[in-house]
Amino acid sequence: MKKRIAILGGGLAGLAAAVELVTQLADSKQNDHCCPDVNSEIVILEKRAALGGRTNSFRDPVTGLEMDNSPHVFLGCYHQTRRFLQRIGSEPLLRFQSRLTVPFLHPQRGKALLRVCGLPAPLHLLAALIGYRHLSWSQRCEVLHAGIAMHRLKELNSESTWDKLTVSEWLHQQRQSLGTQQAFWNVLTLATLNNVPERVSFLQLLRVFKIGFLGGVEDSQLGLSTVSLQKLIGIPAGKFLQRHQVSIRLRCAVKKIETTWKSSHSGGQVQHLLLQSGEKLPVDWVISTLPFSSLRRILPDGIEKNWPESRHLWNFTSEPIISVNLVFNRHITDLPFAALLQTHLAQWLFNRNLNWDSVPSEYHYLSVVISGAGEWIDWPNEAILQKVLDDLEKFFPVVKSVHLLRARVVKEREATLASLPGVESLRFPTVTPICNLFLAGDWTATGLPATMEGAVRSGVQCAQKLLEQYADGNS
């Protein structure tokens, strides 16, 4: 009799879990290891009409252009993500810089590059700071001082301490001036943690700095997709999984997880999944990759009695991101992407004509990103659009004279877990008191902030834990 493994959610974490499962099961069949029968049924239940989750795309009906829900940047240190893309065959569609090079645009001072050299870490960052002229020499010394301090910190020995501290509080301890914080640290914190230093746990910035910037030149490389996110992730992952007989059920939402409990000490077990259609789906294992806001709605009523930690699902909050897609009739810039300083709303600019290989020459397609967008998420789209256009005119005066053919504002209200101080201690492990229920997602305890790499890492960990449980006879 076939065993059924149900994966809830077809985003990055769910797809990574499914790819890891089929890969491990195929290897086990070849090596005759003890794992669930290779003919076990793996089913992905996704409420949307396509795979990919928050890394998705849509086709604009007016221009026919594909548009991402939000531009995503890949880092060289995203090792699990790159391995996942290699497995599904789309990793060659990423284009990485030879070394980290970020253009920063200032309305009065023009362009400055933050560009690392080929020296070993952390000397490569020293060279980048020396050449970054949007900071004064005294400000560069301040950033260097803070970077050295981070390099010396032992994260694992003091997680609880660093998690309770905001980035702003730590920067104050390091005597970072207000000008340095605004010109450098605010930009870095918003880009990596989706909020301002006053609201973000210092532990998360420390992790970003150590993994992404102190790990070496290759780890700090930036990569952009040459195709839409749907073509990079959702479509090739779906084809890979279907070739391995994984069942993919789209527009299929779970209404409730139905469990049985012998006692609060012996743990529970998922018996069925009640779907929105009314169907009861028997399952042997469940990997939930749903956002915390969705998971708390489908857990059994009164679950806190047997699983007290589940109440922490109500302690999490999300941070939104707004993306503004702009299609002009004329050329605006030759920059592939840039950070924008001293603006009202616009923070990052992506030039789709240079990033992607499929934009028709009659269009000049730009995407603008607004991170930490809680203050503006409920603004009318027209007001957001006007502020963004006003920002772009500061850097590209030609915006005043070209014709805007199309504008689409995309609001991702639950883009990332809010990395508030103290949240790290509440993030959920992979294994739960419900013996056949595993948790994945960028909001779980991945050891990373809420990133694509964290999502993929969590899905891989879930698959490995499930297989270990079977091998140990604990199912």
Query: What pLDDT does 474 receive?
Result: 45
Query: Which of the two residues, 459 and 474, has the higher pLDDT score?
Result: 459
Residue 464, token pair as written in the block: 């490995």
At residue 464 the predicted structure's pLDDT band, cuts being 50, 70 and 90, is very high
Residues 6+ apart with CB under 8 A from 425: 160, 163
**Cα(42)–Cα(243) distance, rounded to whole angstroms?**
12
For 217-229, write each residue's pLDDT tens digit. 888 899 999 999 9
For 315-336, write each residue's pLDDT tens digit. 999 999 999 999 999 999 999 9
Query: What pLDDT does 30 receive?
Result: 66
**Cα(347)–Cα(369) distance, rounded to whole angstroms?**
6
**Cα(320)–Cα(211) distance, rounded to whole angstroms?**
24
Pairing mode, if any, of strands 318-328 and 364-370? antiparallel
For 84-141, write each residue's pLDDT tens digit. 999 999 999 999 999 889 999 999 999 999 998 877 767 777 888 888 999 999 999 9
Q: Does the structure show a pLDDT above 70 at 437?
A: yes
Query: What pLDDT does 217 receive?
Result: 80
Q: How many CA atoms lie within 13 A of 237 on its CB side?
A: 30
Query: What pLDDT does 265 receive?
Result: 60
Please tell me the total number of residues recorded for the chain in this structure.
Answer: 475
Q: What's the whole-model pTM score?
A: 0.94
Question: Dihedral of the CA atoms 7, 84, 244, 69 (nearest 10)?
Answer: 60
Pairing mode, if any, of strands 94-96 and 66-68? unpaired
**Cα(16)–Cα(87) distance, rounded to whole angstroms?**
10
User: Shortest CA distance to 328 belongs to which of 384, 371, 380, 367?
Assistant: 367
Q: Does the structure show a pLDDT above 50 at 397?
A: yes
Contact 448, 454 (CB under 8 A): yes
- Name the percent of the chain lying above pLDDT 70: 95
Residues 6+ apart with CB under 8 A from 142: 174, 175, 176, 177, 180
**Cα(96)–Cα(224) distance, rounded to whole angstroms?**
7
At residue 284 the predicted structure's pLDDT band, cuts being 50, 70 and 90, is very high
Residue 318, token pair as written in the block: 């999300």
At residue 37 the predicted structure's pLDDT band, cuts being 50, 70 and 90, is low
- Name the percent of the chain lying above pLDDT 90: 80
Measured CA distances, 371 to 31, 194, 389 (Å): 47, 5, 17
Query: What pLDDT does 214 receive?
Result: 77
Contact 400, 393 (CB under 8 A): yes
Q: What is the mean pLDDT of residues 279-292?
A: 97
Question: Dihedral of the CA atoms 129, 135, 139, 145 (nearest 10)?
Answer: -20
Query: What pLDDT does 358 receive?
Result: 85
Q: Does the structure show a pLDDT above 90 at 236?
A: yes
Strand partners, 95: 224
For 43-86, write each residue's pLDDT tens digit. 999 999 999 999 999 999 999 999 999 999 999 999 999 999 99
Contact 139, 171 (CB under 8 A): no
Q: Does the structure show a pLDDT above 60 at 264?
A: no
Helix 12-31 × helix 452-471 angle, to 10°: 40
Least reliable range by pLDDT among 183-197, 202-216, 291-305, 416-430: 202-216
Contact 164, 421 (CB under 8 A): yes
Residue 187, token pair as written in the block: 């930009």
Query: What pLDDT does 475 receive?
Result: 43
**Mean pLDDT estimate for the chain:** 92
**Cα(394)–Cα(204) distance, rounded to whole angstroms?**
33
Secondary structure in 3-state letters for the chain: CCCEEEEECCCHHHHHHHHHHHHHHHHHHHHCCCCCCCCCEEEEEECCCCCCCCCCEEECCCCCCEEECCCCCEECCCHHHHHHHHHHCCHHHEEECCCCEEEEEECCCEEEEEECCCCCCCHHHHHHHHCCCCCCHHHHHHHHHHHHHHHHCCHHHCHHHHHHCEHHHHHHHCCCCHHHHHHHHHHHHHHHHCCCHHHCEHHHHHHHHHHHHCCCCCCCCEEEECCCHHHHHHHHHHHHHHHCCCEEEECCCEEEEEEEEEECCCEEEEEEEEECCCCEEECCEEEECCCHHHHHHHCCCCHHHCCHHHHHHHHCCEEEEEEEEEEECCCCCCCCEEEECCCCCCCEEEEHHHHCCCCCCCCEEEEEEECCHHHCCCCCHHHHHHHHHHHHHHHCHHHHCCCEEEEEEEEEEEEEECCCCCCHHHCCCCECCECCEEECCCCCCCCCCCCHHHHHHHHHHHHHHHHHHHHCCCC
